Amino acid sequence: MSPELDPGLRRSALAWRDDDPDPATAAALDSLVAKAEAGDAAARNELQDAFAGPLSFGTAGLRGPLGPGPARMNRMVVSRAAAGLARYLLALGHENGRVIVGYDARYNSAVFATDTAQILAGAGLAPLLCSRALPTPVVAFGIKHFDCVAGVVVTASHNPPQDNGYKVYLGDGSQIIPPADADIAAQIAAASHGPLGDLARSEDYPLVGDELVAAYVDRAASLVPAAAPRELTWAYTALHGVGSAVVDDVVTAAGFPVPHRVVEQDQPDPAFPTVAFPNPEEPGAIDLTLSLAREVGADVAVANDPDADRCAVAAVVDGDWRMLSGDELGALLADDAMRRGVTGTYACSVVSSTLLGTMAAANGHPFTTTLTGFKWIGRVPDLAFGYEEAIGYCSDARAVPDKDGITTLLRVLALVAGLKAAGQTVADRLADIQRRYGLHLTSQLSFRVSDLSLIDAAMARVRAAGPQTLAGDPVHAVDLALGSPQLPPTDGMLFESGVVRVVVRPSGTEPKLKCYLQVKLGVTESQDLDAAKSRAGGLMAQARADMTVALGL
């Protein structure tokens, strides 16, 4: 006999349904309750999960699966988030302050953005609602362009199609960090007590679109000098996201040839029908792009993620096409910036390769390591270039202090065209970097779970009894949760020897535990680079096996 539905849960669900302005989620909730009462275990579990507590608002804003209930992304949750953000901004004295509100092409993104604009306007702020789905970096650019006090982008970036999210920026153009996240969360809680209908709404706000895109395109195109080479052949995919149209505008304005495009993935589609996960890093995600690149004899292939804030690059390396790691592309872009004489501080996250720090020191540039995420990288004073290994790159910090997959794409085209004009390739430049600064091979272990308690248990195990050796070398362990003069506390562990380095941490945006591994070997001009790569590959395989055992997942 199936257990009865908890009466308190039933009351909460029906009260939520009665307050829900969205007929679709109200009907879905009715269906869940009916199935749960009929003994459907899956429906009961879903109902319990959806009402287990509010969706947590943190430094990544909100992100989660679509559906009814306080632990899901829906119009109720988004409206209360907008009301809390409004209260937060008004408490800071930003009456009538501008707030740009953008969105991607995911399910319900436009609806969530409209709800946000209406509630911000009703609270006495001055929202600017984007007139169409736009890349996240374009909206982030609009914060400074329109002199806004904050910005909101409704996006789940590269998450699965059933997810959506709510990203908040402050007036400096950077994503929120503590204590702003906790302060906004408190205001959201305060705004969530009464009926949703009590929240004031207004449709008195302007739409922005053409002017914003034109300003962004002009700024991006100005990054490429007039005399720079522009001849190359390239392949491109927008991965069913919103990047394609703006990429076309930027590339044309900068004078580069149009790409050969993956037509199956060129237009926005929230179902992401050709990929298992709409993330260029996931196995198979850029297979169509690689096939096209081979077919047209491309010099380089480029992929944006669905909201175009990330950029992935593939090229012929060691005789065949493959996607560059995030660290490899970071090194290429940093090396190019240093060759162009870009001054300022170079920065990357603690889970990225240590190569950038070596490069900066060798060239006399300041360098800093940050916590994971562009909310930290984008705030580095006098940032020249910043990146994180998860294919996020800040290529124009003064205009967009956040990851930007479109200006990064432009930097890649300029780099590859310059190499081609000199009779060189991406592989040649990578080899030059490896010989100059040492071979830094990086890899990642990622464990996706359905039960988040497994991540907590694995972190507890690795803290209490982490690996004593990695690839045969003794390691020194550092608990990143304790903090240091260089880094604030964060949930992670660092294991390091002279050759192997591993950082273990939970993902901030997905139900994953991640290990970031590096093998570092010195390379001299007289050494065979291929032999060094082979040795590094063997050490990496051992380190991956050691960490898999240590984590017990």
Question: For the segment 365-376, what is each residue's pLDDT rounded down to a tens digit?
Answer: 999 999 999 999
Cα 396 vs. chain centroid, distance in angstroms?
17
> Does 302 share its domain with 429?
yes
Known active-site residue 222: no
Please state, in angstroms and rounded to a whole number, the distance separating the CA atoms of residues 10 and 51: 10
Please state, in angstroms and rounded to a whole number, the distance separating the CA atoms of residues 9 and 7: 5
> Does 202 share its domain with 225?
no
**Segment 98-125 mean pLDDT:** 98
Domain's final residue, options 52, 72, 88:
52
Tally of domains in the chain? 4
User: Of 109, 157, 395, 497, which is the active-site residue?
Assistant: 157
Q: Which residues pair with 304 in a beta bridge?
A: 311
User: According to DSSP H, which parts of 387-510 are helical?
Assistant: 405-421, 426-437, 453-464
pLDDT value at residue 97? 98
pLDDT tens digits for range 246-276: 999 999 999 999 999 999 999 999 999 999 9
For residue 331, pLDDT beyond 50: yes
For residue 426, pLDDT beyond 80: yes
Query: Is residue 288 within 8 Å of residue 274, measured between CB atoms?
Result: yes
For residue 524, pLDDT beyond 70: no
> Binning pLDDT at 50, 70 and 90, where does residue 508 land?
confident
The residue range of the domain holding 22 is 1-52
> Binning pLDDT at 50, 70 and 90, where does residue 525 land?
low
> Does 144 share its domain with 288?
no
pLDDT tens digits for range 433-474: 999 999 999 999 988 888 888 899 999 999 998 999 999 999
Please state, in angstroms and rounded to a whole number, the distance separating the CA atoms of residues 221 and 236: 18
In DSSP notation, 321-345 reads EEEPPHHHHHHHHHHHHHHTT--SE
> Does 314 share its domain with 414?
yes
Percentage helix, strand, coil for the chain under 3-state DSSP, each rounded to 5? 40, 20, 40
| Tokens found for residue 167 | 């990203």
Q: Give CA separation, 339 vs 234, 308, 328, 493, in Å.
A: 23, 26, 16, 34
> Does 225 share its domain with 176?
no
Average pLDDT of the chain, as a whole number: 95
pLDDT value at residue 1? 41
| Tokens found for residue 497 | 């020897």
Please state, in angstroms and rounded to a whole number, the distance separating the CA atoms of residues 547 and 553: 10
> Does 446 share its domain with 536?
yes
Domain's final residue, options 398, 413, 436:
436
> Does 463 share its domain with 393?
no
pTM score, two decimals? 0.95
For residue 553, pLDDT beyond 80: no
In DSSP notation, 339-398 reads HTT--SEEEEETTS-SHHHHHHHHTT--EEEE-SSHHHHTTSTTEEEEEETTTEEES-TT
For residue 505, pLDDT beyond 90: yes
> Does 139 share its domain with 269?
no
